[in-house]
Amino acid sequence: MNKQQTNRSPIILTLILTLAFWGLFSMVGCSNSEQEKDLNSEETSISHMLYSTSKDLKQHVFLEERLDEKGKPYLVGVLDDKLNGALKDLVDAYNADPTTESIVTREEVRFDLTEGLTELCKSENAFSSTMEFLSWCGAPAEIEYDRTLVADDGSVVQTEGVSANLGRWITNFNFVTSPIDYPYRRYIWVE
């Protein structure tokens, strides 16, 4: 081996190692970019599902990124305090509603909205009991006045048994989580 070849060997070796590390780094960067795309797509899918079933509920479920045992990121839902506190009442009201077809449990809904949120968004789960529950939360509440009120001038302000949700702006979620207690008005579920 001559002196010129000996001087080039470390340079060539450094160049080869640099290219190898750069290639490996590029592959990792590409993988992270693909993972970011997957997470963004998943986040969009989850947000769309929550918004389309219950706009009110979407405000109370936040997404958090976690890593699985292989280091791959995935999304879970985190319920805020209002939803956590109201979940029992929402599930009880849903299960008591004669128009609903399935029964849900608080544990099932909580799991599906947290750890199972990604699975819930898949098309094969479109008709699951939790999806029916979410749709019910976003549906207009079937409520009526519980009594007739007459103003001082003799005009009828509200009539017992008449729909109290004519504008359809009060959802089941709103009605259960923030009951409307105006001084002279009370609403009840339609039976």
Answer yes or no: do 168 and 80 share one domain. no
pLDDT of residue 181: 62
In sequence order, which residues have a C-beta less than 8 Å from that of residue 20 and are 6 or more positions away? none
Range of the domain at 158: 143-189
State whether 56 and 95 are in the same domain: yes
156 and 118, same structural domain? Answer: no
Q: Which of 100, 122, 138 is the last residue of a domain?
A: 138
Q: Are residues 129 and 156 in the same domain?
A: no
- DSSP E strand boundaries for the chain: 61-67, 73-79, 143-145, 149-150, 156-158, 187-189
pLDDT in tens, 133-162: 988 998 888 888 888 888 889 888 878 878
Same domain assignment for residues 41 and 90: yes
Which alpha helices (H) appear in 68-181, and where do they start and end?
A: 81-96, 106-113, 117-120, 129-138, 172-177
180 & 161 share domain: yes
pLDDT digits (tens, 9 = 90+) for 71-84: 888 888 888 898 88
End position of a domain, from candidates 138, 155, 179: 138
Residues 43 and 66 in one domain: yes
132, 159: one domain: no
Residue 164 has pLDDT above 50, yes or no: yes
- If asked whether residues 169 and 96 sit together in one domain, one would say no
Distance of CA 6 to the CA centre of its chain: 64
pLDDT (tens digit, 9 = 90+) per residue, 96-140?
Answer: 998 898 999 999 999 988 888 878 777 667 678 888 998 899 888
Q: How confident is the model at residue 3 (pLDDT cuts 50, 70, 90)?
A: very low
- 23 and 96 both lie in a single domain: yes
Give the pLDDT confidence score for residue 11 in this predicted structure. Answer: 60
Number of structural domains the chain divides into: 2
Domain boundary among the residues 97, 119, 138 is at 138
Do 92 and 69 share a structural domain?
yes
pLDDT tens for residues 30-74?
Answer: 445 565 656 666 677 776 667 666 777 778 888 888 888 888 888
127 and 164 together in one domain: no
* Predicted structure pTM score: 0.67
